């Protein structure tokens, strides 16, 4: 009985056509040459034995042996006693430079961009331990599509954690697991449009990428001005929803004033409108305990949004929505229309990570680390009288206004680029161009502990180069306490 083709140790896909022994041998040689030149067979890849390849392709062993011998002589293959036959390296020693990928991520030498955690501090040991526990107890359904609402054990763990740490009042049946804040915004927009409501307000300045996502999803997004007390909620009118970062406004860094919180809830109740609470940096307050979630006092009016992108890393693609009971079905219908399933294994691991309190320990360690880094950054900024820092000690960045008669954002960025330093500006975050103010968003979380001092040195050199060591003129901004 002939051996099945599945018995070979190494599989190759080759198109071998031809007539007669010589024709089939030549066809095999041509197919192997083409595969090596095109790169589908890479240097060092071992080839099947002559017997194995003959069985796969329906050729005689002698035909394969002859083809191998010819290509060894030509330099396309190598053969060593006891090591078998492998692909030789016949690549051009100086290949033409590849064109850059349009969406390839760039990693600056000094990364002080806002909103990124220290990925080098990812809790690898704790996450690995949680993964082992999950896999040891795993049932086959763990690797299936799963519940579109999210794995129950994660929703239950989130309800416990958010209740303990953020004051959120919820249960597992009112939580939907998502792929992160991008999907959260799309789901809110979809539910609103299905209800026939398209007018929404967004903090101005605010995160322009997410604001654009909401607009692309069909919402008429209107700017809601922000001052030193947070969003000016008294300007809200007939909007069906408002998107807010009340714990630590992005990008100004101010929390929403208590009186405005009360006014916001009263507005939502009077108009049957939604408050979409992005609990941005809610865990990272350094001078005192974080302000509790707005959802805690308005469970029927607030759609509470969170993710692990700022605490663990965006690569996990895990977020959540805590919903009023009356909206769970509508959000599930919207989720089933678009991206119904989130990655299951990471859900189970995060559930274990939360339940074992390893997540709490990671947050506490990160809070201490980021607090120290912020202190070093603000101490450096105090050396430059022309700058004005905003916001409370919280989050992953400091917002800095530039003097009205000093260098602009572009000048600062050009000088920073010479040092391999990346930051962000504030002007692009304004929807209302008439109110836009130039400034810098300086993050302090992304670099590793080892890399952070050099990043601060690059920042100091940049600020000196653009002339920000001189005292501000009378027309510049006044300093605020950080």
Two tokens at 105? 């991520």
> How much is the pLDDT for 103?
59
Question: pLDDT tens for residues 43-73?
Answer: 988 998 888 888 888 888 989 999 999 989 8
Residue 100: pLDDT band (50, 70, 90) is low
User: Which among 245, 165, 196, 217 is positioned nearest to 429, based on CA atoms?
Assistant: 245
CA–chain centroid gap for 66, Å, is: 53
Contact between 251 and 205 under an 8 Å Cβ cutoff? The reply is yes
Question: pLDDT tens for residues 222-255?
Answer: 999 999 999 999 999 999 999 999 999 999 999 9
Query: pTM for the complete prediction?
Result: 0.83
> How much is the pLDDT for 95?
57
Q: How many CB atoms lie within 10 A of CB 39?
A: 9
User: Which among 299, 242, 232 is positioned nearest to 273, based on CA atoms?
Assistant: 242
Parallel, antiparallel or unpaired: strands 84-87 and 175-178: unpaired
> How much is the pLDDT for 257?
95
Domain 361-465 of CATH type 3.30.930.10: no
Q: 107 vs 297, which has greater pLDDT? A: 297
Architecture of domain 7-87: Orthogonal Bundle (1.10)
Compute the CA torsion angle 47, 53, 56, 60 (nearest 10 deg).
Answer: 170
Q: Does pLDDT of 475 surpass 50?
A: no
Sequence-ordered strand ranges (E) for 105-192: 110-111, 175-178
Contact between 121 and 368 under an 8 Å Cβ cutoff? The reply is no
Q: 103 vs 106, which has greater pLDDT? A: 106
Q: Does pLDDT of 38 surpass 70?
A: yes
Question: pLDDT tens for residues 148-202?
Answer: 999 999 999 999 999 999 999 999 999 999 999 999 999 999 999 999 999 999 9
* CA–CA dist 273, 222 (Å, integer): 15
- Where on the phi/psi map is residue 215: left (φ > 0), alpha (ψ -120 to 50), or beta? alpha
> How much is the pLDDT for 447?
96
> How much is the pLDDT for 1?
40
Domain boundaries, the chain: 7-87, 122-357, 361-465
> How much is the pLDDT for 181?
94
Question: pLDDT tens for residues 277-335?
Answer: 999 788 899 998 878 999 999 999 999 999 999 999 999 999 999 999 999 999 999 99
Measured between alpha carbons, how far is residue 433 from residues 213, 229, 437, 475 in Å? Answer: 19, 21, 9, 21
Residue 457: pLDDT band (50, 70, 90) is very high
> How much is the pLDDT for 9?
61
In CATH terms, are 7-87 and 361-465 the same topology? no
Contact between 52 and 9 under an 8 Å Cβ cutoff? The reply is yes
User: Which among 216, 214, 218, 281 is positioned nearest to 242, based on CA atoms?
Assistant: 214
Architecture of domain 122-357: 3-Layer(aba) Sandwich (3.40)
């Amino acid at each position: 009985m002939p051996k099945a083709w599945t018995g070979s140790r190494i599989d190759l896909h080759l198109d071998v056509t031809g007539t007669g022994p010589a024709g089939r041998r030549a066809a095999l040689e041509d197919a192997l040459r083409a595969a090596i030149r095109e790169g589908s067979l890479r240097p060092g890849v071992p080839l099947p034995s002559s017997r194995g390849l003959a069985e796969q392709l329906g050729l005689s062993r002698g035909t394969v042996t002859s083809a191998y011998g010819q290509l060894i002589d030509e330099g396309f293959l190598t053969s060593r006693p006891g090591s078998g036959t492998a692909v030789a390296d016949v690549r051009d020693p100086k290949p033409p430079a590849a064109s850059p990928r349009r969406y390839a991520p760039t990693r600056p030498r000094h990364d002080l961009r806002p909103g990124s955690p220290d990925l080098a501090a990812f809790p690898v040991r704790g996450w690995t331990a949680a993964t082992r526990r999950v896999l040891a107890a795993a049932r086959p359904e763990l690797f299936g599509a799963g519940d579109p609402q999210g794995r129950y054990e994660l929703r239950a763990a989130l309800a416990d954690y958010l209740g303990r740490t953020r004051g959120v009042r919820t249960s597992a049946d009112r939580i939907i697991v998502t792929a992160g804040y991008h999907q959260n915004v799309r789901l809110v927009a979809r539910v609103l449009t299905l209800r026939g409501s398209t007018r929404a307000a967004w903090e101005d300045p605010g995160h322009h990428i997410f604001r654009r996502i909401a607009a692309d999803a069909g919402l008429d997004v209107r700017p809601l001005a922000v001052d030193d007390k947070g969003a000016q909620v008294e300007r809200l009118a007939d909007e069906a929803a408002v998107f807010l970062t009340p714990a630590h406004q992005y990008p100004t860094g101010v929390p929403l004033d208590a009186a405005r919180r009360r006014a916001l809830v009263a507005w939502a109740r009077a108009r049957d409108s939604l408050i979409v609470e992005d609990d941005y940096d809610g865990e990272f307050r350094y001078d005192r305990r974080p302000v509790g979630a707005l959802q805690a006092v308005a469970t029927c009016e607030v759609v509470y949004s969170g993710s692990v992108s700022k605490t663990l890393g965006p690569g996990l693609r895990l977020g959540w929505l805590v919903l009023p009971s009356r909206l769970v079905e509508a959000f599930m219908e919207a989720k089933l229309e678009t991206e119904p399933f989130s990655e299951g294994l990471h859900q189970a691991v995060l559930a274990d990570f939360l339940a074992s309190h390893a997540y709490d320990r990671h947050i506490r360690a990160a809070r201490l680390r980021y607090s120290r880094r912020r202190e070093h950054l603000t101490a450096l900024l105090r050396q430059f009288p022309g700058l004005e820092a905003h916001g409370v000690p919280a989050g992953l960045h400091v917002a800095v206004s530039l003097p009205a008669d000093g260098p602009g954002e572009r000048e600062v960025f050009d000088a920073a680029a010479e040092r391999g330093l990346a930051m962000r500006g504030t002007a692009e975050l304004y929807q209302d161009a008439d109110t836009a103010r130039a400034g810098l968003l300086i993050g302090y979380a992304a670099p590793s502990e080892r890399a952070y001092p050099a990043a601060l040195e690059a920042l100091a050199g940049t600020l000196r180069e653009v002339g920000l060591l001189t005292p501000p003129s009378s027309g510049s901004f006044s300093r605020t306490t950080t």
